[in-house]
Chain A
Amino acid sequence: MENKLKEPFMPPIDRVDGKLKVTGAAKYSAEYNIPQMAYGVMVGSSIAKGIILSMDTKAAENAPGVLGVITPFNIEKPAGYNIETSGNISATKKGFNVFDDKLIRFSGQPIAIVMADSYERALHAATLIKVNYKKDSFQTNLEKAIPVVKPLEGNAFKDYTRGDVNAWKTAPVKIEAEYNIPIEVHNPMELHAITVHWETPDKVLVYEKTQSLMDTQEKIMELFGLKKENVHIITKFIGGAFGSAFNVWPHAVAALIGAKQINKPLKVVLSRDQMFMNVGYRPQSIQKISIGAQPDGKITGINHEAISMTASYQEFTEGIVNVSRMLYDIPNVFTRYKIYPMDLSLPTWMRGPGETTGAYALECAIDELAHALKMDPLKLRLLNYSDTDLEKQRPYSSKYLKEAFEIGSEKIGWNDRHPEPRSMPEGDWLAGYGMGSGVFIGWRGGAQVGARFTADGKLLLQSAVTDMGPGTATAMTKLAAETFGISPDKIVFEMGDSSLPPGIMQGGSGTTSSLGTTVNNATLSLKKKLFELVKNKAVFHTETIHDVKFEDVVFENGQMMLSSDHTRKMSYSDILESAGLDNIEFIEETKGFNNVDYSTYAYAAHFVKVLVHPATGVIKMEKIVSAVDGGTIVNDKTARSQIIGGVVGGIGMALMEEGVVDNRYGRWVNNNFADYHVPVNADVPHIEALFVNKPDPILNPMGSKGIGEVAMVGFAAAVANAVFHATGKRIRALPITPDKII
């Protein structure tokens, strides 16, 4: 491709929306106020399973300011409800439409929306609803479900076998261990919120917290039988999501139905406790890993069996065991993945979904093997380094994990540590070093970008994408500036609106790869269009060049110039003027890339130093170095922030996050920020984020592979391994809280 990023790269730029964010001018989905707007409050079921026999909503309806109460008893169902659940499909494929029936599937399931002229009045009225249930027995305890509940069947649950499944058993050195990860909840700072305005009975404007404008638009079109142009979604800013904002969740559907019914704009904001049961979570998992190796460290076989969970009403699967099929060069591999339907709300993608879960187990097990072999864990990883993808039987488009190991281990001083566990006291504390590798697939989907270059030298780019925090507009601005040869401050990247050319969802570390490719192609198209306008001009003709070709010119500093003679040039503005044009405007579209000849993965090498106080069990993160092979880094400054964010999530996963359900009631007991702990600043040391920064030659013209997910994958294992190195104690059940150390 002709539009590659070239060294020297343009220096990183600040967030283009940074000022709006820190001054409070950035508007989030809960911050749109429309005249006559009403407020909706969701009411959740107090039982985990059963049926609603009756609901008394009179007191709520008669409460001051109340405009309406919708329940399964009075809902006017949208057209899409009937399509969704009809036909002979299994229970876990049916999904759940809010207020569609009187069945209770989980504690906290929305059973009513109360709408009033103020939030406080709606909140009060919501407490006045009386519900009469018939309770059923339920199961919310995964361990107890395993012997009695039937796991789901289907393609997603087929065993994977490569070579001999028993190879690990006959190896001279082997380890077997079980790893447990509790439910983890995304808990973005911004609560999920939606503001709905039916402008006409078949035209709706929606301010919604979503990572995918297009999917949200489509879902709403289906639900209400609306035309595409009549469903307008706006998501200008997102205050974190981590995967929780792909689905159109029940509260959002309730808001759409409610606003229609009361014929007023309506805003619904979930409360923090409602965030635990309405917008997904990382499912609990129990993983068993068995590895066999030769005394020299060469791994001969691995078995990785994972048990996880989903909701009774909908299947959710993720690639927990996939890491064990490809991260190492192992001839004999067996993986098994089972999920059990539970009487809890639907789990969903959470940062590094699947891989984060699987890599925790795998990378702890590798550390356990290294210990059994009396071998440096880094050396063991290098010894079993995979140079080709043995699962897919094809080469990697690029793999610089070795380089990441090198710069990461160097930075943390890996080789200066004493390898023996509990051998590095520092005063009353025990120091320990640990490492873990991360891997996440690189991919590229299709996207459209609108481009409009005007005679004043400004470039407007537009695409229907959202940004949950990584700085998508910033990266796209920098990319356009770099490839088009103008200053970033001449560029505006507009996004967050479904009426713009359809972009791509934000997630799976694919936004920059997908959208960036289109932006890259757009600037290339723009350069070609400029070239076509003036290629016949005398200024570009020398004694030797009469028929100037696109390859003969370069585009820098807002000028098109001859490569061979930079004095023969024209500014972009002059080009437009000479052609009598005010602007050049077009939509660039790039199709998705079907990566069939290569496997593309991004990698992370996490190194940490912890201090453990053996008497009190307190763990301090002392040093963190995360070295990432994410291909070319488009904008170093925001990329660094992404790694830091992923690592902070990893600290939470390793040391504190645990969603607790009281299985007697099937009800959450720590659904608030006082009891569900995420790291605070005092828990987070300086985080060194390093990049290999070498281009991937296949995936996209930038050479980038994606970094958002891989930032977290493998991190918790590094911490657990460091705790082992510090104390000699192997804690296999996350989170590693003080009570598990003493």
Chain B
Amino acid sequence: MINFQYLRADTQKKAIDALAKDASAQFIAGGTNLVDLMKKGVTSPQRIVDITHLPLKQIEKVPGYTRIGSLALNSEVAEHELIKNNHPLLSLALQAGASPQLRNMATVGGNIMQRTRCTYFYDTEMPCNKRIPGSGCGALQGYNRMHAIFGASDKCIAVHPSDMCVALVALDAKVLVSGPKGNRRIEFEDFHRLPGNDAAKDNVLQQGELITGIEIPDHPFTKNIHYLKIRDRASYAFALISVAATLDIQNNVIQDVRLAMGGVAHKPWRLPAAEEFLKGKKVSEEIFREAAKIAMNGSKAYEHNAFKLKMAPAAIIESLKIAAKLD
């Protein structure tokens, strides 16, 4: 770890200014990911700007939306009555992530900003286009059991590790951002990006932009929900595959549905074609199977993750079945 400057921002403006002027500065909140990356030498900010004293912790209902401050802790959001009642899918996804100790430190904004856990990204002796653009992708021909089956490029096949984000993309959340050029609201779906030719860039944030919160629009998805996470052990492991599924069922007909996957792409992976297929259909295992098949269009496996081509559709079916209480 090299020396760095620590700055505590007492206003949002000061925080944004500090980063806008200094490309080597980074925000820190819970630090559950950034500190690891600094210890491993993956990232070496010369200045870290502590934003934990900004008033961005609120969890509140406003007309049409639920608004969650970016500094609300993962554990607080998961346990909050408002979230448990109105957005139970988010609560489930949060509880599937990390460990209680980490959830007690990690913030919503930090969860969105966390970087891939690809081991080639973490080992500074290995090639990684995300860490050092142009150095190559270590995982492409390497050990890629945990890696992407959707939307990857030959520059990067890493996956986004978050569980929370899978639920948020399913719920059409918006990311509230404040920056040197003012405020903007980004669709969750558009926030994280695919690696393409620029694997170094995880998302569309501009230098100096700060996530201030998220908004989840009101929705009817409170009854038929499930977050399925398949992992190598029962807790404290990243997803091999995860599926957020929620249905609005009236008279056994699917009025609306949301489906998203984790552990499969460089971003939380929404399944719009499968959703479209399911809308208006009667609930049955058969149509869930069809939907899962549709969801897998365009998937591509590598040497060690071919199992995901089988596990992902199985997980979609399973998650939909549980959400629809089909058993």
Contact = CB atoms under 8 A, between A and B. Distances in A.
B182 to A, nearest CB: 38
Contacts of A739: 145, 240, 307-308, 311
Interface stretch (B165-173, B201-209, B312-320): B312-320
Interface string A712-723: 000000000000
Main secondary structure of the interface of A (DSSP, over half): loop
A158 B308 CA distance: 44
A615 B317 contact: yes
A675 B315 CA distance: 22
Interface string A728-739: 000000000111
Interface stretch (A203-211, A329-337, A588-596, A660-668): A660-668
Interface residues of A, number: 35
Interface stretch (A225-233, A456-464, A677-685): A677-685
A120, A669, A670: most-surrounded residue (chain B CB, <10 A): A669
B232 A127 contact: no
B235 A738 contact: no
Contacts of A682: 233-235
Main SS of chain B's interface residues? loop
A533 interface: no
A100 B1 CA distance: 29
A669 B142 contact: yes
A123 B38 CA distance: 12
Nearest to A679: B233
Interface in A667-705: 667, 669-670, 672, 674-675, 677, 679-683
B141 A664 contact: yes
A669 B236 CA distance: 18
Contacts of B232: 655-656, 677, 737-738
A427 B326 CA distance: 13
A738 B315 CA distance: 12
B142 A664 contact: yes
A428 interface: yes
Q: Interface extent on B, as a size class?
A: 35 or more
B310 interface: yes
B314 A615 contact: yes
B41 A127 contact: yes
Interface string B1-38: 11100000000000000000000000000000000000
Contacts of B143: 660, 662, 669-670
Given A662-B142, A674-B238, A742-B311, A667 B233 contact: no
A616 B1 CA distance: 41
Contacts of B233: 655-656, 677, 679-680, 682-683
A428 B325 CA distance: 13
Contacts of A670: 119, 143
B311 A674 contact: no
Contacts of B120: 669
B37 to A, nearest CB: 13
A124 interface: yes
Contacts of B317: 615
A55 interface: no
Interface of B: 1-3, 41, 117, 119-120, 122-123, 125-126, 138, 141-143, 145, 228, 230-238, 240, 307-308, 310-311, 314-315, 317-318, 327
16 contacts: A127-B2, A615-B315, A616-B230, A616-B318, A655-B232, A655-B233, A664-B141, A664-B142, A667-B126, A669-B142, A674-B237, A680-B234, A681-B235, A682-B235, A738-B232, A742-B307
Interface of A: 46, 120, 123-124, 127, 427-428, 615-618, 620, 655-656, 660, 662, 664-665, 667, 669-670, 672, 674-675, 677, 679-683, 737-740, 742
